[in-house]
Structure 1
Amino acid sequence: MSSTEGPAAPHIADAARGNWVDRRAPASLRPYLHLARVDRPIGTWLLLLPCWWSTALAAVAAGSAYPDPRLLVLFAIGSLAMRGAGCTWNDILDRDIDGRVARTRNRPIASGAVSVPAAFAFLAAQCLVGLAVLLSLPRFAIVTGIASLGVVAVYPLMKRITSFPQVVLGIAFSWGALMGWASVFRAIEDPALFLFAGCVVWVFAYDTIYAHQDKEDDAIVGVRSTALFFGRRSALVVGACYAVTVGLFALALDTARAGPFAFIGLAGFALHLAWQVRALDIDDPARCLAVFKSNRDAGLILFAGLALDTIVPALL
């Protein structure tokens, strides 16, 4: 038996079957990689994209020839580490709830594959990686990053006390929209604030889609969400939020004096969001998951437009 083989772990609902973690990773590491959601990279992408947008928008405003590659790499590493840390913290706090929800009962802590003390040790290791990335940034960006930690820490508790936990998640997942700008300009200015506000609304909308996977179990165990609050009106709310997102992003681009490629990227992003609203079926969990995951593609379209807005003028 090779070192990568071992007893098959219970399938986790929103992970792709046959993913590389289950096929290639050593059996002893698989529960920790599952805990950090390495087998489900969409969360890392959604945490990373605002960082990349902010970095590229700052490059546009600064007249740079391209977004800073060093920052793009640092934010990729930091997003992977901090998304994993956030998921670990969430699963520590939610271990009793997860065991009562069909989609989450096979998560490593809820299923007993990872003990709580081991999860805390793994959390500390991931936070150290995130800290190393943060300390590689300018001082103003370091302070800006530290300011997000309280929001990240309290998010898992919000679904117990409010029907709008997605607001807190939106703030946490959108903080990168400030970080790229802060790293380039050592300040937070209007373009970054408009980008941040748009990201918060975007996260609120796409996580409402995601929450429709769990609405029946959430109602049984007493967990609250926008999916339960809005119910049949969810598609209308998501569409309205996406429209606000595009408007705020347009303000961010305008105040940064972005050029045509950035606005073409924003138009592509907007068309993708419109497709999502049309494709959404809140009674089909698989469709909800697929539409939610497609936000990575929408985000990459916008990033490509922003990057081209710096690269093409530099080549001409």
Structure 2
Amino acid sequence: MASASSKNLRTPRRADDSSINFFPDLPGYSDPTTGILSWLPPSWIPYAQLMRIDRPAGLYAFYFPYLIGIMYAACLAPTAPKPSTLLQLASTLFPLNILLRGAACTWNDTVDQEFDRRVERCRHRPVARGAVSTISAHIFTLAQLMAIYPVLTFFPASCRSHMGVTVVLFFVYALMKRVTHYPQVVLGFPFAWAVFFCVASLDLDPLGPNAAPTLALFAVNVLWSIIYDTIYAHQDIKDDEKAGVKSMALRFRDSTKLLVGTLAVCMVTLLVLCGVWLDCGTLYYVGTAGVAAAMSYYIYDVDLGDPQSCGAWFHDQFLTVGVPLIAGFTGEYLCRAAIL
């Protein structure tokens, strides 16, 4: 028979749920006294928290696929673009990704507020704790999306439709944990759509003559997202189960390492195929080998039963896996541009 606390956690949200403290034995919320948030006026802090300004790892998840996509697109271009052109694209995409991430996280926190109150790690998020109302959060989401548009004017018109698809997919993802144990699969698609956006940013057709390597890299990004987000979800697996949140961490809780290990093999295989179809040279495959080594150690070393280990590896793997992935395409571009 379920305990009283379990019954409360599974009860559908009532009108007064926002006043219920599901973790009465844990400390209440207080504004941070150190770090970037401590520099802000108190009224700004909840909105900065909605944007995750103080948590850079999530920004890596948004920004790195665009850096990968830029260097991949540079390898596709009939005439290698100048390094200054690529740096300009990368610098313009940085604020765009801050806003995109902010809008996606704000929307996610707004629609997930009833779940967040029941999950220890998420209970102090601004909407869940009542620091920002639902209406204010929706207005803030819209404001961030509107702020993206001026940045998009620096890119070809075709990029706008790709960004539109990305936004829709992020918004759909936030609802998927209610209906399927595979929200991580859905999450992979808006992250991977960065590849299409970046190819279009150089006035190339993402599904043109080089559709095969482009789709392979798209799939690589989807698999990468599934791997790290499934491991990340193990932080909250007990609370998620009580709250009714679905995830691949719950679906494969006893075989997660086998699952992500298999996906990692598929990911590296697709990277190799991408290189073959692009006729890449040695430097690209050195980067691919770095991805394989980093991913292998990441999956081997992470302790799925330790939330701190899962959280730390979520942060670190963007550098250990993402940097060699970017470096492989960068090396190939430098060779094609006759810079090396």
TM-score computed with the length of structure 2 as normaliser: 0.84
Question: Is residue 134 from structure 1 mapped to residue 152 from structure 2 by the alignment?
Answer: yes
Judging changes above 3 Å, is the alpha-carbon distance between structure 1 residues 108 and 310 closer, same or farther for their aligned structure 2 residues?
same
Judging changes above 3 Å, is the alpha-carbon distance between structure 1 residues 94 and 159 closer, same or farther for their aligned structure 2 residues?
same
| Aligned counterparts of 2:309 and 2:39: Cα–Cα separation in 1 | 28
| Aligned counterparts of 2:326 and 2:82: Cα–Cα separation in 1 | 15
1:118-267 aligned at under 5 Å gives the runs 118-188=136-206, 189-267=211-289
Deviation of residue 19 (structure 1)? Answer: 5.8
The one-letter code sitting in structure 1 at the alignment partner of 2:60 is W
1:1-316 aligned at under 5 Å gives the runs 10=29, 20-62=35-77, 63-66=80-83, 68-188=86-206, 189-297=211-319, 298-311=321-334, 314-316=338-340
Structure 2's unaligned 5+ residue stretches are: 1-27
Deviation of residue 165 (structure 1)? Answer: 0.6
Aligned pairs, number: 305
- C-alpha contact 2:156 2:203 (8 A) present in aligned 1: no
| Aligned counterparts of 1:294 and 1:201: Cα–Cα separation in 2 | 17
The one-letter code sitting in structure 1 at the alignment partner of 2:312 is A
TM-score computed with the length of structure 1 as normaliser: 0.90
The one-letter code sitting in structure 2 at the alignment partner of 1:83 is R
| Aligned counterparts of 2:53 and 2:170: Cα–Cα separation in 1 | 19
| Aligned counterparts of 2:70 and 2:103: Cα–Cα separation in 1 | 23
3-state SS, counterpart of residue 246 of structure 2:
coil
Q: What's 1:6 paired with?
A: none
- C-alpha contact 2:104 2:167 (8 A) present in aligned 1: no
- C-alpha contact 1:65 1:310 (8 A) present in aligned 2: no
Instruction: Name the stretch that deviates more: 17-26 or 208-217.
Output: 17-26
- C-alpha contact 2:102 2:144 (8 A) present in aligned 1: yes
User: % of aligned pairs identical?
Assistant: 35
| Aligned counterparts of 2:142 and 2:35: Cα–Cα separation in 1 | 25
Deviation of residue 118 (structure 1)? Answer: 1.9
| Aligned counterparts of 1:105 and 1:227: Cα–Cα separation in 2 | 20
| Aligned counterparts of 1:89 and 1:253: Cα–Cα separation in 2 | 37
Structure 1's unaligned 5+ residue stretches are: 1-8
| Aligned counterparts of 1:185 and 1:263: Cα–Cα separation in 2 | 27
CA RMSD of aligned residues (A): 2.1
| Aligned counterparts of 1:11 and 1:75: Cα–Cα separation in 2 | 33
3-state SS, counterpart of residue 148 of structure 1:
helix
3-state SS, counterpart of residue 131 of structure 2:
coil
The one-letter code sitting in structure 1 at the alignment partner of 2:40 is A
Q: What's 1:3 paired with?
A: none
Instruction: Name the stretch that deviates more: 139-148 or 32-41.
Output: 139-148
Q: Deviations over 1:220-263 (max 9, x none)?
A: 11111101100120011111111111111222233233322222
3-state SS, counterpart of residue 150 of structure 2:
helix
Instruction: Name the stretch that deviates more: 252-261 or 270-279.
Output: 252-261
The one-letter code sitting in structure 2 at the alignment partner of 1:299 is G
Q: Deviations over 1:68-112 (max 9, x none)?
A: 112111221111111110000001101111111111000011011
| Aligned counterparts of 1:137 and 1:28: Cα–Cα separation in 2 | 34
| Aligned counterparts of 1:53 and 1:282: Cα–Cα separation in 2 | 28
- C-alpha contact 1:57 1:253 (8 A) present in aligned 2: no
- C-alpha contact 2:166 2:191 (8 A) present in aligned 1: no
